Amino acid sequence: MQHDSVLLEAAFRALDSFKIELPSWGFANTGTRFGKFLQPAAASTLEEKFSDAGQVHKLTGVTPTLALHVQWDLPNGIADAESVRRLESLHGVSAGSINPNLFQDQEYKFGSLCNPSSGVRERAVAHLLHSVAIAHQLGSKDISLWLPDGSNYPGTQSIRKRIAWLEEALVRTHGALAPEQRLLIEYKPFEPAFYHTDIADWGMASLLAAKAGPQARVLVDTGHHYAAQNIEQIVAWLLHTGILGGFHFNDRRYADDDLTLGSIDPYQIFRIFHEIHLSGPSLLGSMAFMIDQSHNLKGKMEATVQTVASAQELWLKAALVDREKLALLQDRCELVAAEELFRGAFWQDVRPIVREWRAARGLPEDPLAALGASGYVQRIGAERGAKLAPATSYA
């Protein structure tokens, strides 16, 4: 396929600028609240998660970091930092964002940072401060906080008191950040709480980030919105106000489904990426692109490679929007022409260009096929599956 050289240059620049972080939990056995379907190739140790992430990075070249969840990956806290360093150099990926966990301990039944008990709140803040210290030790820039707190029944909690407790906790956490670190604040409308969630949307997250301090930012998880919400408009606002810190990408049909990025609505991810491209390349260094998916049915390695490739394709499609021409058409209110230009960029098949870019960067042109040919999934399936109970069968 012949490409115009200017277009190819712009495309390569866009692809060179794109990196996306993998979630350690995306390689582990996870499920729904109805149960787990175990996969023999799933990672159950941190070493296996690093190995899987390293393999994805080797195949795609764009996933140099692995997000870690403190309680799942670093059960000994900062004492585990040394083994993380060893795994980083063994598998060629670095620790990425550090995710505190305020949602599993029994003490957090009625909340963590917003619990009416000052003792529980103190414990939750201590966990955040410890997470900041872990991140510092590992050279991780971002502490990525998702808060499950909320309540299930009207009148059972003081929403106002909880706002104040939350502000206080975030200010204290922010105070412990090193100058190069950031506190990313994620929002979610519901689940596990079903009446009110303490950080339910981008407005609350923005106000809390502003209150916490200048190194706090908002994290947008694409699955954490009501079905009809216009996420790219939220992204545009967060960019405009300079408070956007990053993304957890996934797709959804109903709620927080954790489906593969772009599997249900690729146009939406394209529209979000367009907003980011509009802000110019200087912004990219400060934007954390992360995947937050857990694959219950698909093979984890295959789904992850597929996700990364989809993200690259959508990123490139959005990069190739002729933004100057679009601005002109918008100013003239030439609606159909503007829409056709925008839609046209989405509909073009950029896969041949991505393949060319991969070849030029010494990467396999088809990472999914290369994963299959490498025998990696079969090997880990046999090795790891053997450790599981022999009575377990897998479909």
Instruction: Say if residues 140 and 95 touch (Cβ distance below 8 Å).
Output: yes
Site string for ligand PSV, 202-241 (x = CB under 6 A): -------------------x--------------------
* Contact status: 186 vs ligand PSV (CB under 6 A): yes
**Span 260-299, contacts to ligand PSV by CB under 6 A:** 292
Closer by beta carbon to Mn ion, 48 or else 221: 221
Q: Which burial class, exposed, middle or buried, applies to 118 when counting CB atoms under 10 A from its CB (0-12, 13-18, 19+)?
A: exposed
* Distance, CA of 10 to chain centre: 26
Instruction: Say if residues 26 and 305 touch (Cβ distance below 8 Å).
Output: no
Tell me the C-alpha distance between 282 and 260, whole Å: 28
Q: CB under 5 to 8 A by kind: which of ligand PSV, Mn ion, none does 251 bind?
A: none
CB of 69 to ligand PSV, least distance (A): 6
Q: CB under 5 to 8 A by kind: which of Mn ion, ligand PSV, none does 295 bind?
A: none
Site string for Mn ion, 254-293 (x = CB under 5 A): --------------------------------------x-
* Contact status: 142 vs ligand PSV (CB under 6 A): no
Give the H or E element holding residue 219. strand 216-221
Closer by beta carbon to ligand PSV, 12 or else 72: 72
> Which two three-digit tokens encode residue 5?
């050289």
> Which two three-digit tokens encode residue 22?
């993998």
CB of 34 to ligand PSV, least distance (A): 16
* Contact status: 48 vs ligand PSV (CB under 6 A): no
Picking from 322, 358, 357, the residue whose alpha carbon sits closest to that of residue 343 is 322
With contacts defined by CB under 5 A, name the span among 106-114, 122-130, 218-226, 324-332 that binds Mn ion: 218-226
Tell me the C-alpha distance between 93 and 73, whole Å: 15
* Contact status: 99 vs ligand PSV (CB under 6 A): yes
Tell me the C-alpha distance between 67 and 246, whole Å: 13
Instruction: Say if residues 303 and 260 touch (Cβ distance below 8 Å).
Output: yes
Contact positions vs ligand PSV (CB under 6 A): 25, 99, 146, 186, 188, 221, 248, 256, 292
